[in-house]
Amino acid sequence: MQPRHFMSVVVAATLWGTGGLLGTLLAERSDVPPASVAMWRMLIAGVVLTAWLAARRSVGLRRLDRAAVVRIVATGALTAVFEVLYFTGIALAGVGLSTLVTIGSAPVWVALWDWWRHRDRPDGRRVLALVLALGGLALLLGSSLSAGDRALLGVGVALVAGASFAGVTVVNRTPVPGLGAARLTALSFTAGGLLLVPVALVLGWGAPSGAASWGIAAALGIGSTALAYLAYLSGLATVPPFVATIVSLLEPLVAAVLGALVLAERLGWSGVAGGAVLASAVVLLRPQRDEPESIH
């Protein structure tokens, strides 16, 4: 596991954490339903990256073999499913509970897959990091955890959302020759965004209104989505999926800090303690000097 790839995953989680703030600001200015938010952020991410590749006359837009097409479609479809189910889980079970189950279950899904498929179990250090991360996440989100009438259904949806994110990670653990992270992100998110168009038409269509709202949507699509996934998929070159999904738990920590700083949301001492425990789990996972560069 190379340090630069580990830091790429950290950067990805940090950028994902800005999505909550941008989504809140977008909701304040435009009435955009969750399915449409997922569609717009994926379409903007895919189109912008594709245009960037085209401007550079990159070979990334040509010569797609079957393996590349399969990887692009799989990544786009799994990400689209994750985006829609995550927002649906929030609507059913609330932000705190849905986030805890969705993001917290992803490393568990990866561990179960690796055990079933490869008979590979995480070592003690990584299990400890997972326990610390989940405990810290529960403390961080404690004040927002609530169970309504539809909470059980929301938890079920959140579990499937977590499995979808784990799927994105597992599918991309081995790169396809000639399909770099930029090319993969650009084309898979364009495909995923297009797949979400009929979903948004059925579940709720909406678009940002005004220059300010489109600016926020652009920041959400480019920074919180395109650059975040580009960094994440790049990091998977040597960072094992189990480790990557634990590091991704930094996302709600960043979101909580930004909410406290920008939106004056109360974090509380339990939130501060949870954030510290969560951060310590990521520090525990940092590359060790005697660790091999790649552990796939």
> Which has more pLDDT, 229 or 259?
229
> pLDDT tens digits for 114-150?
999 888 888 889 999 999 999 988 888 776 555 566 7
pLDDT at 45 exceeding the cut of 50: yes
pLDDT band at 15 (very low <50, low <70, confident <90, very high): very high
If you average pLDDT over residues 268-284, what whole number do you get?
88
pLDDT band at 35 (very low <50, low <70, confident <90, very high): confident
If you average pLDDT over residues 22-42, what whole number do you get?
84
pLDDT band at 61 (very low <50, low <70, confident <90, very high): low
If you average pLDDT over residues 77-86, what whole number do you get?
92
If you average pLDDT over residues 37-53, what whole number do you get?
92
Q: In the chain, pLDDT over 70 holds for what percent of residues?
A: 91
d(CA 83, CA 273): 29
If you average pLDDT over residues 232-254, what whole number do you get?
93
Listed by start position, the domains of the chain span 3-285
The whole-model pTM stands at: 0.89
d(CA 169, CA 108): 12
Q: Decide: 38 and 31 in contact? Cβ < 8 Å.
A: no
If you average pLDDT over residues 269-295, what whole number do you get?
79
d(CA 284, CA 23): 31
Which pLDDT score is estimated for 295? Answer: 44
pLDDT at 83 exceeding the cut of 50: yes
